[in-house]
Amino acid sequence: MSTIKLISTSALAKKMSISKYQLDEQLLAAKFVIKEGNTYTLTELGMQKSGTLKNHVKFGEYIVWDENLDLPNKSITQGKDFHSSTKIAMKFDLSARKINLILSEIGFIEKYLKGWTITILGSKNGGIQKENAQNGIPYVEWATPIFENKAFLSIIKEVKGEASESTQKEIEKSQDSNFRGKFIAKHRATDGHMVRSKAEMLIDNWLYMAEIVHAYERKLPIEEVFNLDDVLPRLLLKFGVQTY
């Protein structure tokens, strides 16, 4: 009777000759784990597939797997080209910092203490979380479809001053002209945004001081219908802040 050898996720990724982040994506897709913030939690299905919790005196609790774990979706990240913000920046003749700020503005990534972490929306749009092997700083790489993402490209064009006249007219039509005419943006926030009320100015100032990347009256890259009966969700949406 053979004995099952249990190894950590990192060790299993090394054995499979893929990055830990690729393996994390496969485990998530197989529903062996779920992600809560930056923590991976073992599911019942994961336990059935040999997943076990171990506790280390120094590193705390972590998950181990059968070294011969068979995943149903091994090709989820294999064979795909992934691009760093630096590589994307070169294509659009912008800096990597601007690319990250744009990705943050549309809700694909979030600022960490140092570096960037991916959001649920970012994962759905082809991003994978990575970490610098030398300093541990997190960053995100993107599958090739990011170059065709409409929300991303529309802001790229605006930043570079390439938005067409028809695009500008569409943006204007998407706004409520009666509302815009009645409530003029005459309050200047600390970061220079012109907003329509003192309440919006206070929110903008708070977001700026908290170093949260935000936009004012930006059309969000989502299809869900939101209930805007409450004042707070309405204001958050105006500033491009997404809630999940």
Domain ranges for the chain: 6-66, 82-151, 175-244
Cα distance between the two ends of the chain: 48
Q: Output the pLDDT for position 166.
A: 52
State whether residue 92 is helix, strand or coil. helix
CA 160, CA 99: separation in Å to the nearest integer? 12
* Contact assessment for residue 69 and residue 10, using Cβ atoms and an 8 Å cutoff: no
State whether residue 37 is helix, strand or coil. coil
User: Distances from the Cα of 70 to the Cαs of 2, 10, 26, 29, 51, in angstroms?
Assistant: 17, 16, 11, 13, 12
Query: What's the pTM value of the predicted model, to 2 decimals?
Result: 0.48
State whether residue 195 is helix, strand or coil. strand
CB atoms within 10 A of CB 93: 7
The secondary structure element, H or E, covering residue 78 is none
Q: Output the pLDDT for position 229.
A: 41
* Contact assessment for residue 145 and residue 88, using Cβ atoms and an 8 Å cutoff: no
State whether residue 101 is helix, strand or coil. helix
CA 80, CA 169: separation in Å to the nearest integer? 37
CA 148, CA 129: separation in Å to the nearest integer? 20
Q: Output the pLDDT for position 243.
A: 46
The secondary structure element, H or E, covering residue 155 is helix 150-159
Residues of the chain with pLDDT under 50: 79, 171, 174-175, 223-232, 234, 243-244
User: Distances from the Cα of 19 to the Cαs of 9, 27, 68, 127, 128, in angstroms?
Assistant: 10, 13, 17, 14, 11
150-159 helix and 96-105 helix, angle to the nearest 10 degrees: 130
